[in-house]
Amino acid sequence: MPSSLSQNRYNQRGVSSDKSEVHKVVDHMDRGLFPGAFCKVTEDLLTNHPEYCNVIHSDGAGTKSVLAYLWYRETGDPSVFHGIAQDSIVMNLDDLACVGVWDRVVLSSTVNRNARNFPGEALAALIEGTEAFLQTLSDQGINVKSGGGETADVGDLTGTVAVDSCAVAVSPRDRIIDNARIGPGLSIVGLASFGQASYETFENSGVGSNGLTSARHELLCSHYRENYPETFDPQTDPQYLYCGPHRMADPLPESPLSVGEALLSPTRTYLPVVKKIMEEWKGEVLGLVHCSGGGQTKCMRFGAGVHHLKDNLFAPPPLFREIQRVSGTTDEEMHQVYNMGHRLEAYCKPQVAEDLIGLAGQFGIDARIIGRTESSERKDGANHLTIRLPNKTLSYG
């Protein structure tokens, strides 16, 4: 693989892992009642209660929807969109969980589709998937209700389908988890993104819903470029389009899943675990971080004067190893784009770290102390991150 291909492959596809242009604008806007929280929290305008607050969040399945579209077109099986419905919902709910909201949430979904390529049976599968996942949450004691949504036929905007959701809740202010409390002297407990949780019915590759633009093109072969031009931006250099060796049905090395199944693994929700953790150890858990956009570097946005040190990460699951093997992507970029094996971090007092690990195990989720926080070593006191791998050290910030 030529070295030039391993230089920021993610940006070459018109996407950004750090969203620097977005943050350049929004970071100067009003940051709400808890400026250091994972999500913006505002005064309560819904019930006008002085001791309550409102939290609203929007996100979606991203380009993972394109993978489901490819699977549907090649197999004729619309049920693949059940997982996409879950992806869109979880990317909202697990962000809300990081500010202490995991119950009494109202959800609305928006589907933008090209009706020629995404017909009624596929749309029906999305709706069925939403209802089935909300029932799974209800079975775990988590109350999330559908408030309806919108389906827009926008063939000029998308050649396939985009699935997004918006979640809103009212919460007591004293229940909010404020990541501004993250400081030196804490243990970082990581909850695995792979395996099979007790409330899941499938083996999860751990991919989540971030980095799928690159993952899709790195792993899948030119067959998809030649047959499905509606699934990529024609402005992208062809060397970055479906440049991998695999078809979706190919077995993923060192995994029971096929490449397509691994890429389409529905995003795991951590709500049942977070709910239990915060019921038992709210005073000892000072912050929660959902390692979504930005992967393992997401943590740098939270706390003040913190050196985040991660020196005991999970071994990367097979899907991430295969992406790196076939693409030659650097370790630095892999950890900035993908979760690499854990997608939720609890920043806790060291004496309760093993308790959190044991609780996660009760749900069938591997967990471990993946690192700790120390005082910033920068002259300006800015947050920064060190990741120590077996063979090298990565530095960010």
Co-location of 12 and 64 in the same domain: no
Co-location of 162 and 79 in the same domain: yes
The C-alpha atoms of residue 86 and residue 84 are separated, in whole angstroms, by: 5
Contact 236/12 with Cβ under 8 angstroms?
Answer: yes
pLDDT-derived band of residue 21, with 50, 70 and 90 as boundaries? low
Contact 42/32 with Cβ under 8 angstroms?
Answer: yes
Predicted confidence (pLDDT) at residue 22 exceeds the cutoff of 90? no
Structure tokens at 389: 């791998």
Predicted confidence (pLDDT) at residue 392 exceeds the cutoff of 90? yes
Co-location of 126 and 229 in the same domain: no
Co-location of 237 and 158 in the same domain: no
Domain end among 122, 144, 175: 175
pLDDT digits (tens, 9 = 90+) for 313-355: 999 999 999 999 999 999 999 999 999 999 999 999 999 999 9
Q: What whole-number percentage of the chain has pLDDT above 90?
A: 91
Domain end among 153, 175, 197: 175
Structure tokens at 124: 């029906």
pLDDT digits (tens, 9 = 90+) for 174-223: 999 999 999 999 999 999 999 999 999 989 999 999 999 999 999 999 99
* 255, amino acid identity: S
Alpha carbon 6 to its chain centroid, in Å, reads 23
Number of domain units in the chain: 2
Name the helix (H) or strand (E) containing 55.
strand 52-60
Q: Which residue from 18, 100, 59 is spatially nearest to 287, judged by alpha carbons? A: 100
Q: Are strands 144-153 and 161-172 parallel, antiparallel or unpaired?
A: unpaired
pLDDT of residue 136: 95
pLDDT of residue 7: 46
The C-alpha atoms of residue 186 and residue 345 are separated, in whole angstroms, by: 12
pLDDT of residue 13: 65
Co-location of 257 and 380 in the same domain: yes
The C-alpha atoms of residue 194 and residue 8 are separated, in whole angstroms, by: 25
* 343, amino acid identity: R
Predicted confidence (pLDDT) at residue 173 exceeds the cutoff of 70? yes
Name the helix (H) or strand (E) containing 124.
helix 120-139
pLDDT of residue 11: 72
Residue 355's Cβ-side half-sphere holds a number of Cα atoms within 13 Å equal to 16
Domain end among 152, 175, 198: 175
**Hunting for tokens 């985009």 — which residue is that?**
162
Write the DSSP string, 7-23. SSHHHHTT--SS-HHHH
pLDDT of residue 27: 62
pLDDT digits (tens, 9 = 90+) for 53-104: 999 999 999 899 999 999 999 999 999 999 999 999 999 999 999 999 999 9
pLDDT digits (tens, 9 = 90+) for 251-271: 999 999 999 999 999 999 999
Co-location of 184 and 92 in the same domain: no
Predicted confidence (pLDDT) at residue 23 exceeds the cutoff of 90? no
pLDDT of residue 5: 40
Contact 147/107 with Cβ under 8 angstroms?
Answer: yes
- CATH number of the domain bearing residue 145: 3.30.1330.10
Helix (H, G, I), strand (E, B) or coil at 58: strand
Name the helix (H) or strand (E) containing 126.
helix 120-139
Co-location of 281 and 258 in the same domain: yes
Q: Can you tell me the mean pLDDT for 6-33?
A: 64
Farthest CA pair distance, the chain: 60
Co-location of 224 and 345 in the same domain: yes
Contact 176/308 with Cβ under 8 angstroms?
Answer: no
Q: Which residue from 260, 274, 93, 273 is spatially nearest to 167, judged by alpha carbons? A: 93
Co-location of 149 and 226 in the same domain: no
Q: Over the chain, what is the mean pLDDT?
A: 93
Q: Can you tell me the mean pLDDT for 41-46?
A: 95
Q: How far apart are the first and last CA of the chain?
A: 28
pLDDT digits (tens, 9 = 90+) for 350-369: 999 999 999 999 999 999 99
Range of the domain at 154: 37-175
Name the helix (H) or strand (E) containing 171.
strand 161-172
Sheet holding 52-60, edge to edge: 41-43, 52-60, 161-172, 105-113, 144-153
Co-location of 51 and 21 in the same domain: no
Co-location of 320 and 292 in the same domain: yes
**Which residues, in sequence order, are bridge partners of residue 167?**
57, 107
The C-alpha atoms of residue 238 and residue 216 are separated, in whole angstroms, by: 14
- CATH number of the domain bearing residue 328: 3.90.650.10
**Hunting for tokens 């607050």 — which residue is that?**
53
Any long-range contacts for 220-228 (C-beta under 8 Å, 24+ apart)? 220/70, 220/244, 220/246, 220/247, 220/248, 220/259, 221/245, 221/246, 221/247, 223/247, 224/70, 228/69, 228/70, 228/73
Q: Which residue from 352, 324, 359, 337 is spatially nearest to 291, judged by alpha carbons? A: 337
The C-alpha atoms of residue 300 and residue 280 are separated, in whole angstroms, by: 27
Co-location of 152 and 274 in the same domain: no
**Which residues, in sequence order, are bridge partners of residue 204?**
195
